[in-house]
Structure 1
Amino acid sequence: MSDKRQRARVQGSWAKQLPKQPRPAVPPSQNATPAVASWGIHQQITSANFEFHQPIKPVRDVPPEKVIDQAGDYEISHEPSGVSRLRLVPSFLPADKADWIFSKLLAELPWSQKTNVRQGEAYAEPRLTCWFGELPYTYARSTMAANTKWHPLLLNLRRAVSEASGVGGGERFNSLLCNLYRDGHDSIGWHSDDEASLGPQPVIASLSLGDSRVFSLRKKPRPEENGDYTYAERIKVPLGHGALLLMEGATQDDWQHQVAKEYHDRGPRINLTFRSIFPEPQGHRPGTKLRFTGRQADVNLTN
C-alpha cells in the first residue's frame, strides 16, 4: 500500500460524510440571543432586559463606638422606659488615698470565687467577689451570703459615694458588691443589673481602684431586632485608679455592660459597686429579672 493511500485511510477520508443537521430556527417573537461559552457550548438563553429591585431590608451602618473619658453627666439614650444617664468622676479619690485604700481592701476583704449556673452547667466566675449588706443577693441562679459587718473603710466610702450620687443628702446605698479582677484574664460578661431585688431603675455607683480597665456598654436591641446586637450603640469608658461612675435612670433597662478580658499586662483591680437592695415580693423567684413597661415595673416592690 502506498504511503499516500495509507495516510488517507488513517485520516478517514474513505468514510462517508454524515449529512449536516439544520439548526433550529429561533422564533422571531423571542427577543433573546444565545450566549456562547468559551468552549463553544450554548448557555441558557437569558433575557436582554435587566430589572433592578431595591433590597427588601434597608442598608445599615454599624454605629461607631463612643468614648466617654471626661468628667461630666451624659444622657446616653431616651426611650419609653426613661432617660439613661451616666456620670463620670475620673479623680473621685486622690491617688495617694486610693493607693492606701486599695492595699487595705485587697488584703482584708473576704474574697472568694463564686459559682454560677448557665444552661444547666456550673462554672466558676473569672474574678473574686464578696457581698456586704443586710440581705443576700441572687444573680445567675446563685446566691451570695451577706456580710452584715462592714469593713470600716467601706462604710466611709459608702458615705462619700452616697453624697456624690444624689440630691439633698444623696442616694442611700444599703449594699455593696465587691469585685476583684486579679489580672487581665479576669472579666465579667454582658449583663444588666436588673434583678427584681434591686427595684425599678436602680442607681449603681461603681468605684474603681488599682489598674485601669475598660468598662463597655451596649444598647439593648428593639424587639424587632430579635436579640441582634450587630447595630447596637456602644460606649467605652476607661476607668482608672480612683474613678467613680454612676449609672442612673433607665440604664439597666435599656443597656448592658461588661468588663472584657485584656490579655496584655494588667495588674489587679478592685471594683466596688454600691447599690440598694430590697426584699423580693412573696412568691417571686430570687434573682429573676424585672420586666418593665414604660416607667413602672410589672412587679411591685416594697421597702
Structure 2
Amino acid sequence: MADKRRQARVQGAWAAPAKKQSAAHPATDAGSLLHQMPGQTWGNKEHPLSDRVFVFKEPQQVVRRAPEPRVIDREGVYEISLSPTGISRVRLYPGFIDSKEADWVLEQLCRDVPWKQRMGSRGDVTYLQPRLTAWYGELPYTYSRVTMEPNPHWHPVLRTLKHRIEDNTGHTFNSVLCNLYRDEKDSVDWHSDDEPALGRWPAIASLSFGATRAFEMRKKPPPEENGDYTYVERVKIPLDHGALLIMEGATQADWQHQVPKEYHSRGPRVNLTFRTIYPDPRGAPS
C-alpha cells in the first residue's frame, strides 16, 4: 500500500499546473461563440428603446371570393334574382312524366326524330355541334347563326307533351327544339335564349328524358365587370328522367345557361325546349 501511495505522489508531481485564463481577455474564437446561448451576444449590448408605435391596419383591398352555386333539386318556384330588368324565375317539376311513360317517350324519340349534327360558329370558327338536334314548328328559328328550317309536321308524342305542359303551366308554345346528348361528351355551351323572335320575356319549357345531366346557370355580370363572370351568382339544377323546368320572367335577359360535358359515363339524354316564335319581333309581348 505504501508503494502505491508513493507512486501516486510521483505521478502527480509530473502534472504541470493548469494555466489560468486572464479575466481581462475572454476568448472570442469561433468555437467559443458556438457554445454561447442564443441571444447571449445581443443581450450583452445596450440598445436604446424606439419611440415608434405599431398600429394594425385592415387591408385596403377587399378579398373577393366566387360564390358557391345554389343547388335547386326539389319541386317549387324559385325567384333567382331581381333587377331593373325584372324578376328571374324558374319552376322545377321533378317527375313531371312518370318513369314508365318517360322510358317509352325516350325510346320513341330516339327512334323517330330525324336527328342531325349541325355546324355551329363562334366568331370566325365553325365546328360540329357536340349534340344532335331537330326542330318542329311552322316558323324558322335562328340562334348562334344556325337557322332551323320550318317543320310543321309534329311527331304525335311531341304534340301530346306540348299540350300537357301548356295545361299545367298556363304558357302556350308553337315550336320545340329537340336535343340529343349521346353521352357525357355531348354538351351545349353558355348562352341565353334571347333571340328577338322570342320576345322580351320568353317562357322556355325544358323537358328531359334519359340520363341525369347538370343544368347550370350564371348571372350576367354588371357593365363595370367588363364581362368577367368570376364572381357572379350561379345556380345548378340536376335534370333527371321526366323532369320539367320552366324559365320565365327576366331569366333570359339576366342569366345564361349550359349543359357541360361530364367526367363520368352518361347514357343518352333527350331534352325538349318548347318556346314561342313570333314572325315579327315587333308584335311580341313586352
TM-score (norm 1): 0.74
Match of 1:251 in 2: 251
Equivalences, count: 234
Stretch moving more, 183-192 or 51-60: 51-60
Matches of 1:240 and 1:135, distance apart in 2: 30
1:175 has 2:175 as partner: yes
1:91 has 2:90 as partner: no
Q: Using the aligned pairs only, state the percent identity.
A: 57
Residue 60 of structure 1: how far off its partner (Å): 2.1
1:74 has 2:98 as partner: no
Matches of 2:187 and 2:269, distance apart in 1: 11
Task: Supply the AA of the counterpart residue of 1:109.
Answer: V
CA deviation map 1:283-303 (0-9, x unaligned): xxxxxxxxxxxxxxxxx3458
Match of 1:296 in 2: none
Residue 242 of structure 1: how far off its partner (Å): 0.2
Residue 263 of structure 1: how far off its partner (Å): 2.4
Match of 1:124 in 2: 128
Match of 1:11 in 2: none
Give the secondary-structure state (helix, strand or coil) at the position aligned to 2:270: strand
Matches of 1:57 and 1:245, distance apart in 2: 40
Q: Do the aligned partners of residues 145 and 96 (structure 1) sit closer, same or farther apart at CA in structure 2, a change above 3 Å counting? A: same
Match of 1:194 in 2: 194
Match of 2:8 in 1: none
Bigger helix share: 2
Task: Supply the AA of the counterpart residue of 2:99.
Answer: A
Task: Supply the AA of the counterpart residue of 1:261.
Answer: K
Give the secondary-structure state (helix, strand or coil) at the position aligned to 1:70: coil
Residue 61 of structure 1: how far off its partner (Å): 2.5
Larger Rg: 2
CA deviation map 1:244-267 (0-9, x unaligned): 000010000111000000121100
Residue 56 of structure 1: how far off its partner (Å): 5.5
Matches of 2:57 and 2:225, distance apart in 1: 24
TM-score (norm 2): 0.78
Gaps of 5+ in 2: 1-51
Give the secondary-structure state (helix, strand or coil) at the position aligned to 2:162: helix
Gaps of 5+ in 1: 1-47, 282-299
Superposed CA RMSD in Å reads 1.7
